[in-house]
Amino acid sequence: MISYISSWAEQVIIAVIIGTILEMILPNGNSKNYIKTLIGIYILYTVISPVITLAVGKDLKIDYSEYEKYFNTKVDSDISNNAMEDTFKTEIKKQMKNDIEEMGFHVNSISMKLDLENGSITKLDLSISKDGKKSDNEIAINKIEIGKLKERENDLSFQEIEKIKELIQNNYGITYEEIYINSI
């Protein structure tokens, strides 16, 4: 009986020491009160457990599997993947737009298809114009001459398109074949 009481006292002392160390490590904030409560429950369980064992005659065991459904919140994977994809697309589009506009071009639109499993962009469609001052609502009207094939002022040259594709390939790991640039 003395060995039982001494082992119980050791368990209580260890529980109090662990609880004290955890309280000292915790940062101040709203969650500290909740964690202190859990530490208190753990110490109380350590103190009461042997008494219940003696009174009932069997060990006090808690079946946590019944309570897992309350503590584990699972988010629908489709919703989670869509939100992650939307966030990823938005951030990549912002970065691409800034990179291309730093080169002196105006990005009218960006659309892309993603492969979330590999974390890669499978297709990228860009609509770019030379004139950085052009807004999305502005329509450029070019003079039409019959019998002459004339390049529009806002059309990007082959070198400019290659320069943009090279920037995108270097910064975002998208191959040339996956990048489609429309000059507006």
Q: What DSSP string describes 137-157?
A: T--------TT-----TTPPP
pTM of the model: 0.47
pLDDT at residue 171, as a whole number? 83
> pLDDT tens digit string along 38-82?
888 888 888 888 777 777 766 656 666 666 665 555 545 555 667
- Compute the chain's Rg from CA coordinates: 32
pLDDT at residue 183, as a whole number? 79
pLDDT at residue 75, as a whole number? 47
pLDDT at residue 134, as a whole number? 45
> pLDDT tens digit string along 80-115?
667 777 787 888 888 888 888 888 888 888 888 877
Is the pLDDT at 1 greater than 70? The verdict is no
> pLDDT tens digit string along 11-29?
889 888 988 888 888 777 7
pLDDT at residue 76, as a whole number? 52
3-state helix, strand, coil in the chain (%, to 5): 55, 15, 30
Torsions phi, psi of 37, nearest 5?
Answer: -65, -45
pLDDT at residue 141, as a whole number? 60
